[in-house]
Amino acid sequence: MLSEYDCWMQKRTVESPAGLVLDTVYGEAGGAVALQAGEEFRLGVKRLLGFSPAVRPGNPDVGGKPGVYLGTVAGLKPRFGFPAEKLADGGFFIRTEGESLVIAGQDEPGILYGVFHFLSLLARGKAGGSLDIREEPVSPLRIINHWDNLDGSIERGYAGLSLFFRDNRFDYDRERIRDYARMLASVGINRLSINNVNVRAAAKLLISEEYLGEVAALADVFRPFGIRLLLSINFGAPWSQGKLPTADPLDPAVAAWWKDRAALVYKYIPDLAGFLVKADSEGEPGPFQYNRTHVDGANMLAKAVKPHGGEVIWRCFVYNCVQDWRDQTQDRARAAYDHFMPFDGKFDDNVILQIKFGPYDFQVREPVAPLFGALKKTRHLLELQITQEYTGHQIDMCYLPWVWQDIMEFDTATGPNGRIRELVRPYREGVSSIEGFAAVVNVGRDANWTGHTMAQANLYGYGRMAWNPGLSAPEIAREWSELSFGTGQVADTIADLQLRSYPAYEKYNAPFGVCFMVTPNTHYGPNIEGYEFSRWGTYHRADAQAIGIDRTPSGTGYTGQYSPENAAMFADPARCPENLILFFHRLRYDHKMKNGETLLQNIYDTHFEGYDEVATMLETWKGLKGSLDGAVYGSVLGRLERQLVNAREWRDQINTYFLRRTGIADKRGRKIYE
């Protein structure tokens, strides 16, 4: 029986790989992570093969007995002779040597990741025969961001209350947090911020003695899994908390306050990864308040954490959120590039910019932000959103690795090998390098972690893609489905459903990259003009003839932030990808699209199709009745039924909106309400 709680780490009985002695594990003497690796091997084998191997940590028999050898490359090299070149941190070898299985990590996390990799192979029936695997993460930083508030609520959370907090206290089930850490480590996550980037109310006190003991206790739970914590901080803390007259980053008293504060924090959590900062963004305090730059702000904080080996992750989600809709000269899409590109090379070496993948805000479809490929002398990360803020609130099924794959494959055309996935690498000054990923997570206290059981695939997929951005969405769907549902027809069907879900969602959503036709605040369901006259800089300006913003040089000039090749491509309606054409262009409804139909007819068509595809997904799911655990079947069924209602609203509101604007009926005569 499927356990929703166990996600992709289901208990099941698989065949033991022939010829391997797995009942004794010899572990190298090591730290907590190496120890945990042995324990995870034991638990995994118990879960999949039904017996509990003896684990002998710190006492590896390298004398020749057959068994499982877990250790670092350095430790195991004398006997097993690994290649000379160094793996990336977290990399590992898996080899069979006679009856022995050898898992050698470049470091302790590498051992742990190797164990999880082997268990994944084992669960999917791929651990048989001779193994000779070399694997390493492409990106050094694979980060989860929690937007959890201390009162227990989660900003943009759709799976219950916070795993960590309630009623302004740390309040968690330690075993559950261990299970969570295990899941994350199994897909390679190595950093985790525990609190919302909007740091308000009690959360400001996380960096005070009021809470630091409890932060340290939580760090203890994650540490054996190779996960280091981050704390989101409030830039205004010296003023609001420290009672200084200012939080000006160039004021020596402010810098001194942060220095002292960092020392206190690191006294409690010496391996804290650092601070995550949302400054001058959507009302949060920041250096602009004091006429200082983001370089001033970030570097001041960086100097405070530097003595402790900490880093400052500084978000680039900085834009004018009190824009006047009447003003057509401003363009929110330009903001991150305009704010940060001039400072390339000015940030300290322990500052890492965190840049949302697109210029807006996690929309269903938006272009890749032009800072990627452009920044050459600044450490930076690419930020994604696993939680389904704009992608269906974990009511609608929406498999996100599809869109992430499109991001990874985007060619920045800023040089040879300029695809996003090709830019992911450890930082080297002068070379555009994305050091990794951060993503807002989709978990909460719901029994199945993610509300929608199918949304577990997005968490899994994020980890996998952060580890290796060259993995394809179908490969990941297949892995996840087999791990969750076993290797059979059901898993095939569910993997296929996942792959169908994102295209369907995109079709019934805002058309062709126009963005933000969503219900304000909640961001679920359609509201075509909901953001049209708002202060958020998110307009489509549909009138009776045309829709969209001209972002070419004849308009806001946003396309000019890209490389010349991309700038030319996006600015040319004939070459601009059609799924983004309304992001870059203002088009008449009679604009002819590549399929020969008008833009308007394409809007109608995609919206009828999107709904129909959800209806088909629902039928597919109903076909699984009896092949699945009843509770899982029922909970997903209920969500698909709600999704169909939502898809119908999107279809009808979008189509009615454009019919009313244009008076032009669907050429295929389908029902559009007047």
Q: Which residues are catalytic?
A: 282, 361, 389
- By CB under 8 A, name the one of 179, 296, 629, 649 that touches a copy of itself: 649
Q: Segment contacting a copy of itself (CB under 8 A): 63-71, 110-118, 287-295, 543-551?
A: 543-551
Interatomic CA distance for residues 361 and 282, integer angstroms: 12
CA dihedral sign of residues 597, 409, 480, 222? negative
The yes or no reply on residue 322 touching a copy of itself (CB under 8 A) is no
User: How many residues are given for the chain?
Assistant: 674
CB of 196 or CB of 662, closer to a copy of itself: 662
Helix, strand or coil for residue 350? coil
CB of 52 or CB of 328, closer to a copy of itself: 328
Shortest distance (Å) from residue 129 CB to a copy of itself: 59
- By CB under 8 A, name the one of 430, 663, 668, 669 that touches a copy of itself: 663
CB of 321 or CB of 631, closer to a copy of itself: 321
CB of 321 or CB of 568, closer to a copy of itself: 321
Run of H or E including 473: helix 473-485
Q: Segment contacting a copy of itself (CB under 8 A): 124-132, 138-146, 417-425, 658-666?
A: 658-666
Query: What is the per-residue binding string for a copy of itself in 494-533, x denoting contact by CB under 8 A?
Result: --------------------------------xxxxx--x
- By CB under 8 A, name the one of 326, 575, 594, 668 that touches a copy of itself: 326
- By CB under 8 A, name the one of 366, 504, 659, 666 that touches a copy of itself: 659
- Amino acid in position 626: G
How do beta strands 165-166 and 169-170 pair?
antiparallel
What does DSSP assign to residue 287? G
CB of 124 or CB of 541, closer to a copy of itself: 541
Q: Segment contacting a copy of itself (CB under 8 A): 164-172, 281-289, 540-548, 550-558?
A: 540-548
The yes or no reply on residue 167 touching a copy of itself (CB under 8 A) is no
Shortest distance (Å) from residue 406 CB to a copy of itself: 30
- In the Cβ-directed half-sphere of 370, how many Cα atoms lie within 13 Å? 21
CB of 120 or CB of 598, closer to a copy of itself: 598
Q: How far apart are the first and last CA of the chain?
A: 49
Q: Cite the beta strand spans of 338-400 per DSSP E.
A: 351-356, 380-385
- By CB under 8 A, name the one of 80, 268, 290, 325 that touches a copy of itself: 325
Shortest distance (Å) from residue 543 CB to a copy of itself: 4
Shortest distance (Å) from residue 615 CB to a copy of itself: 17
The yes or no reply on residue 673 touching a copy of itself (CB under 8 A) is yes
Interatomic CA distance for residues 170 and 221, integer angstroms: 13
The yes or no reply on residue 662 touching a copy of itself (CB under 8 A) is yes
Q: Segment contacting a copy of itself (CB under 8 A): 39-47, 206-214, 230-238, 651-659?
A: 651-659
CA dihedral sign of residues 285, 289, 290, 291? positive
- By CB under 8 A, name the one of 155, 296, 597, 652 that touches a copy of itself: 652
Query: What is the per-residue binding string for a copy of itself in 429-468, x denoting contact by CB under 8 A?
Result: ----------------------------------------
Token duo for residue 470: 């060259």
Instruction: Work out the angle between the directed axes of helices 599-622 and 630-662 (0-180°, nearest 10).
Output: 160
CB of 100 or CB of 662, closer to a copy of itself: 662
Q: Segment contacting a copy of itself (CB under 8 A): 100-108, 124-132, 284-292, 657-665?
A: 657-665
CB of 175 or CB of 674, closer to a copy of itself: 674
What does DSSP assign to residue 666? P
Helix, strand or coil for residue 356? strand
Token duo for residue 586: 């203002």
Shortest distance (Å) from residue 47 CB to a copy of itself: 46
Interatomic CA distance for residues 55 and 70, integer angstroms: 10
Q: Segment contacting a copy of itself (CB under 8 A): 64-72, 254-262, 322-330, 559-567?
A: 322-330
Shortest distance (Å) from residue 635 CB to a copy of itself: 24
Find the largest Cα–Cα distance for the chain: 83
| Count of residues touching a copy of itself (by CB under 8 A) | 25
- By CB under 8 A, name the one of 46, 660, 667, 670 that touches a copy of itself: 660
How do beta strands 141-145 and 434-440 pair?
parallel
CB of 436 or CB of 530, closer to a copy of itself: 530
Strand partners, 148: 154
Q: Which of 312, 307, 416, 420 is nearest to 358 (CA)?
A: 420
Q: Segment contacting a copy of itself (CB under 8 A): 30-38, 170-178, 325-333, 552-560?
A: 325-333
Residues 6+ apart with CB under 8 A from 127: 17, 118, 121
The yes or no reply on residue 572 touching a copy of itself (CB under 8 A) is no
Shortest distance (Å) from residue 663 CB to a copy of itself: 5
The yes or no reply on residue 541 touching a copy of itself (CB under 8 A) is yes
The yes or no reply on residue 543 touching a copy of itself (CB under 8 A) is yes
Q: Which of 630, 619, 311 is nearest to 493 (CA)?
A: 619
Interatomic CA distance for residues 427 and 276, integer angstroms: 19
Place of tokens 């190779």: 226
Token duo for residue 193: 């911020």
Residues 6+ apart with CB under 8 A from 401: 457, 458, 461, 462, 464, 465, 473, 476, 477
**Chain centre to alpha carbon of residue 107:** 25
Site for a copy of itself in 328-347 (CB under 8 A): 328
The answer to whether 120 touches 483, Cβ cutoff 8 Å, is: yes
CB of 287 or CB of 526, closer to a copy of itself: 526
Q: Cite the beta strand spans of 532-648 per DSSP E.
A: 546-547, 587-588
CB of 541 or CB of 642, closer to a copy of itself: 541
Shortest distance (Å) from residue 522 CB to a copy of itself: 11
Q: Per-residue DSSP letters for 4-55?
A: GGGTTS-----PPPTT---SEEEE-S--HHHHHHHHHHHHHHHHHHS---EE
Shortest distance (Å) from residue 532 CB to a copy of itself: 8
CB of 104 or CB of 672, closer to a copy of itself: 672
How do beta strands 92-97 and 54-57 pair?
unpaired
Q: Segment contacting a copy of itself (CB under 8 A): 140-148, 192-200, 504-512, 653-661?
A: 653-661
The answer to whether 407 touches 368, Cβ cutoff 8 Å, is: yes
Token duo for residue 578: 């059609």
Shortest distance (Å) from residue 515 CB to a copy of itself: 17
The yes or no reply on residue 674 touching a copy of itself (CB under 8 A) is yes
Cα distances (angstroms) measured from residue 400 to each of 9, 404, 440, 507? 20, 6, 13, 14
Q: Which alpha helices (DSSP H) does 290-400 contain, by range? A: 294-305, 335-340
- In the Cβ-directed half-sphere of 360, how many Cα atoms lie within 13 Å? 18
CB of 442 or CB of 538, closer to a copy of itself: 538
- By CB under 8 A, name the one of 52, 59, 545, 616 that touches a copy of itself: 545
**Footprint on this chain of a copy of itself (rule: CB under 8 A):** 325-326, 328, 526-530, 533, 541-545, 649, 652-653, 656, 659-663, 673-674
